[in-house]
Amino acid sequence: MIQILDQPVHGGSAISYAGLIEKIEILRSTLRRTASLERPEIEKLLRQSNGLRDEVLQLSHKERFVTAAAAEPTRVDRSPGHRRQALLARSFVFEGTFGDNPKLLEALEIAEKAAPTDLPVLIDGESGTGKELMAKVIHANGARADKPFISVNCWAIPENLLESELFGHIKGAFTGASSDRKGKFESAHKGTIFLDEIGELPLAGQVKLLRVLESREIQRVGSDQTIAVDARIVAATNKNLRRLSEEGKFREDLFYRLGVIHVTLPSLRERKDEIPLLLEYFGDEAAEALKRRPAILTSRLREFLLSYSYPGNIRELRNVIYRISCLAGDKADLEHLPADIRPASVASTAHHSAVGEDAHGSSPSSLGDAKRAASDEAERAFLERGLHEVGGTVAELARRCDMNRSHLQVLLKKHGIRSKDFRNQTGGSPP
Ligand SMILES: Nc1ncnc2c1ncn2[C@@H]1O[C@H](COP(=O)(O)OP(=O)(O)OP(=O)(O)O)[C@@H](O)[C@H]1O
Ligand SMILES: [Mg+2]
């Protein structure tokens, strides 16, 4: 008969690594001396090893807690630059997410913590705020990064095809099902499934989804066979799901199940201070994509772009910049804006000279205004031509015009002209 530890391994005594190692050693020597084990002995050993495992877990938990507490700096630098830098230092994958807005950084920090877990994440935010991009960020920062990321737009799937789309079907399951087909869940096995516009999922679909989330199994339409799926769920919505669930339009249990971790993305109205940076970022991106120099924005176009409300958020801003970059020559003006957002007076004057219009493209109301507008326009054209000729070197332009350099900088700022836009251009002839 072998000797088995008679002390309960998982007692109320103080836990220490030394005590644990001793217990593990006794277990090991017991096992070494054993030729064969009877069932009750196996079970006893299993209980003991489970107890040991629990103790190790507790210790590691305690240790992590102590380490974290010790590492807690007395004063954490919460400035946006530092927060982004800290994410970078921790090798966070941004997937092209740009911006330092505190609400955006908070969303990224939540994403960072959620990514390595398999917990469901619910992302909400207005249209075009980057929900899909954020889902990709979560995927890219987790252990499933090299596995599939499967995106499903719940709104775009007709109700009668929803089940087959999500869970697949077998041949003959319905008219038109000419062969077996995998659904999105199976395709996302081991990876991430992104359920976009989840608020649009019909109630019947919600019930089926809930069942899959609970059982982690699917059944292809027409089949009795269950298939285990291991897909991490990230859902997104531009609706207020809590309100929808209160109104009975979205299942409350599904809402809670999906929203274990909730990430809210800020609208562009809440990040207005970042619009200049975003204009520059997407301007450069568009220029690269279109293989051309970044277009120079007239001051009135720039003013418009800084004050516009962007109901379509970053997507709209990005699209506008791409459009401008594509349609404009070297210089982009109000007329290059999409017609539905262009200031009304521009449509009729689009092909006329900009001289004589005010900053928003409307006709001046007095002779004084007209003179001022003309003078502003002449000033801007002079500066742009000058910068073009000197390849964007402000000091050189100041020297040539016999102007004070800081005054010149003030004028450039007033017109929203960036000297760097004129670098790498072949000087000599005016734009
Ligand atoms: N912070 C950001 N930095 C850089 N690009 C961004 C950012 N947020 C969004 N974008 C870009 O804006 C566009 C729209 O983003 P995305 O499709 O993720 O938005 P969405 O919230 O899913 O929109 P919708 O609700 O209309 O589906 C994409 O081209 C995306 O790359
Ligand atoms: Mg989307």
Instruction: Give the pLDDT mean for 241-246.
Output: 93
For atom 8 of ligand 1, which residue has the closest CA? Answer: 130
Nearest to 184 by CA among 254, 110, 234, 123: 234
Q: CATH number of the domain at 93-266, out of 1.10.357.10, 2.40.480.10, 3.40.50.300, 3.30.2290.10?
A: 3.40.50.300
Nearest CA to ligand 1 atom 5: 97
- Dihedral angle sign, alpha carbons of residues 271, 272, 273, 275: positive
Mean of pLDDT values over 160-175: 92
User: Which of 223, 334, 10, 271 lies closest to 125 in space, CA to CA?
Assistant: 271
As a whole number, mean pLDDT of residues 55-81 equals 66
Distance in Å, CA 408 to ligand 1 centroid:
37
User: Looking up tokens 């004050």, which residue turns up?
Assistant: 307
Q: What is the pTM of this model?
A: 0.66
Could you say which ligand is closest to the alpha carbon of residue 315? 1
Q: What angle do CA 371, 375, 376 make, to 5 degrees?
A: 120
Q: Dihedrals φ, ψ of 210, to 5°?
A: -60, -45
Nearest CA to ligand 1 atom 13: 315
The model's pLDDT over 110-128, given as tens digits with 9 standing for 90+, comes to 999 999 999 999 999 999 9
For the CA of 129, the closest atom of ligand 1 is: 21
10-47, pLDDT tens digit by residue? 444 445 666 676 677 677 767 766 777 777 777 778 77
Say if CB 299 and CB 159 are below 8 A apart: no
195 CA to middle of ligand 2, Å?
10
What's the average model confidence in pLDDT over 39-56?
77
CA-97 nearest atom, ligand 1: 3
Q: Which of these ranges, 43-57, 269-283, 331-345, has the smallest mean pLDDT?
A: 43-57
- Residue ranges of the domains in the chain? 17-70, 93-266, 271-363, 366-431
Q: Burial, 415: exposed, middle or buried (Cβ in 10 Å; 0-12, 13-18, 19+)?
A: buried
What pLDDT, on a 0 to 100 scale, did the predictor assign at position 9?
44
Q: How far apart are CA 70 and CA 62, in angstroms?
A: 12
Least confident of 44-58, 188-202, 307-321: 44-58
- Predicted confidence band of residue 372 (pLDDT cuts 50, 70, 90): low
Q: In ligand 1, which atom is closest to the CA atom of 98? A: 3
Q: Find out whether the beta carbon of 96 lies less than 6 Å from any atom of ligand 1.
A: yes
The CATH class of the 271-363 domain is mainly alpha
Residue range 80-102: average pLDDT?
92
- The pLDDT confidence band at residue 1, using thresholds 50, 70 and 90, is very low
Residue 117's pLDDT is what?
Answer: 94
Average the pLDDT over 316-320 and give the result. Answer: 96
Report which residue type is found at 328. Answer: A
Q: What does the longest C-alpha to C-alpha distance in the chain come to?
A: 112
